[in-house]
Amino acid sequence: MKYTEIKDLYKFIFQSYDKPFLREHIQKFMELDEYLPYSSTFFCVTNTQELTFEFVSKNYTTCLGLDPNELKVHGMRYFWRRIHPDDIDAWLGALNNLMEFTLSEIPEDKRKDANYTWNFRIKNGDDVYVNIIQNTTPLVFDSENKPIIGLAHYTVLDPNIKMDITASAKLLNSKNEYETIYFNNFSQKLLHDGISNRERDVIRLLLLNRTSKEISEKLEISSHTVDTHRRNILKKFKISSTGELVGMLKLNQHWL
């Protein structure tokens, strides 16, 4: 995917209609950064409207061996160019799904209590792709209550760790504790690669607890054909039972 396309998709996801006031937020984080110890985590204040990093903590260089001025001057385009090419599509898919979930499932008055996590690989100063877990808390919202300014924490993990790209959303509950309300795995392309449209239909009906007979009547195919589809689906997913398939997909309904 070309980086101009990434820009267009990213800006579409975070499209906004007014400009937030950042000075007070940034000043607070700059003051805090002076007292934080060096570690494997750095943080930034992200502006998804302007595609900029309004502040980059001192640990950025310690964690990645990169110049923070490059990040500040060139913004998110510079950052995107360092993301592993194989992770781009899944990463954008994660952002888009999180935004859709936020706007459709989280009430406007609760969005300030939300917290989001996703991961990807990025090339460090030694040209090695390391794992990054990004945890973002919204700070400022636009006129439609869409999050556009965030405090993003980035934790760097060993490059030898094999990680699926996942995304999650948490919300503060009545006990002031974060509770997971959304999770999705974007590396397992269950219903994208190698699954026929008819197999999709069978899977959706299996999730509704339909029997082979009921599925055959609904799709106007024989029960034998339904059973063949079920065996093929299990083989493609490399799992052994329909129950396992249904349980896995019910945990990740955004695949459907």
The predicted structure's pLDDT at residue 198: 86
Domains and CATH numbers, the chain: 3-185 (3.30.450.20), 197-255 (1.10.10.10)
Query: In terms of Cα–Cα distance, which of 78, 44, 74, 73 is closest to 58?
Result: 44
Q: What is the mean pLDDT of each run of 10 residues along the chain (256 residues)?
A: 72 70 71 77 90 92 94 92 91 88 90 94 96 93 84 93 90 86 75 71 84 90 92 79 71 50
The predicted structure's pLDDT at residue 83: 95
The predicted structure's pLDDT at residue 127: 96
Token output for 129: 């792709």
The predicted structure's pLDDT at residue 189: 55
Question: Which residues contact residue 56 at a Cβ distance below 8 angstroms, ignoring those fewer than 6 apart?
Answer: 42, 44, 68, 71, 72
Three-state SS letters, the chain: CCHHHHHHHHHHHCCCCCCCCCHHHHHHHHHHHCCCCCCCEEEEEEECCCCEEEEECCHHHHHHCCCHHHHHHHHHHHHHCCECHHHHHHHHHHHHHHHHHHHHHCCHHHHHHEEEEEEEEEECCCCCEEEEEEEEEEEEECCCCCEEEEEEEEEEECCCCCCCCEEEEEEECCCCCEEEEEEEECCCCCCCCCCCHHHHHHHHHHHCCCCHHHHHHHHCCCHHHHHHHHHHHHHHHCCCCHHHHHHHHHHCHHHC
The predicted structure's pLDDT at residue 153: 94
Rounded CA-CA distance 115/146 in Å is: 14
The predicted structure's pLDDT at residue 248: 65
Q: Is residue 165 within 8 Å of 186, Cβ to Cβ? A: yes
The predicted structure's pLDDT at residue 66: 95
Question: Which residues contact residue 76 at a Cβ distance below 8 angstroms, ignoring those fewer than 6 apart?
Answer: 10, 46, 51, 52, 53
The predicted structure's pLDDT at residue 15: 74
Burial grade of 186 (CB within 10 A; 0-12, 13-18, 19 or more): buried
The predicted structure's pLDDT at residue 25: 67
Residue 111: count other Cβ atoms within 10 Å of its Cβ.
Answer: 16
The predicted structure's pLDDT at residue 226: 92
Token output for 170: 């948490």
The predicted structure's pLDDT at residue 254: 45
Rounded CA-CA distance 12/48 in Å is: 10
